[in-house]
Amino acid sequence: MPKFDYSLNYADLDLRAHPELYRVGVGEQGVLLVQPYKGELLPHWRFATPDAARESSDTIFAMFLAYLKDGDFVGADMARKFLQMGFTRSRRYANHRGGRKYDGPVPDDRKGQSGAHGRAELPRQPEDPVKAESARIFKAKWEEAEANAEYARMKKEHKKTYG
């Protein structure tokens, strides 16, 4: 699978106008880079409490469906990534008070990319049940998005057409 292209100048790039430049990548790659979707989705992304997670995931999932209805695969995939990120960040905070999972800074050549990059994982704390519930809420919406037949069709078509 082609990796997400971190070399593009996302600050000045509108991927709604240029969907051919978008690569799905792995997991949440590019979730906080791709415009105009970051600007549309980020204001709705909240996971501090189950109520906030429920409202956030419902709103983002509705946006996911709207992007699909508009034939906007990039928008739908970005909404899916925000749902996934709601799950992963909630889980991180459920396991690590303060949200820091790894020890030490990210090496300069790996900033903006996911993963540990050779850093040690900090010890897990007793699970925070509030953040764990937020994670369950986001996971259910993320799985619903992943299982959407129209999304799967559009994803396959996008990869076939653009790589």
- In sequence order, what DSSP letters do the residues of 78-144 get, joined into one string? HHHHHHHHHHHHHHHHHHSTTS--BSSPPPGGGTTS-S-TTPPBPPPPSP-HHHHHHHHHHHHHHHH
Instruction: Give the percent of the chain with pLDDT over 90.
Output: 72
Domain count, the chain: 1
Residue 108 lies in a domain: no
Condensed to tens digits (0 to 9), the pLDDT of residues 6-31 reads 999 999 999 999 999 999 999 999 99
pTM of the model: 0.86
Tell me if the bond preceding 36 is cis, omega within 30° of 0: yes
* CB-based contact 151:79 (threshold 8 Å): no
Condensed to tens digits (0 to 9), the pLDDT of residues 25-56 reads 999 999 999 999 999 999 999 999 999 999 99
**What was the pLDDT predicted at 129?**
85
Residue 93 lies in a domain: yes
Residue 111 lies in a domain: no
Residue 97 lies in a domain: yes
Condensed to tens digits (0 to 9), the pLDDT of residues 131-151 reads 999 999 999 999 999 999 999
* CB-based contact 60:41 (threshold 8 Å): yes
Q: Which domain holds residue 76?
A: 1-7+33-102+126-163
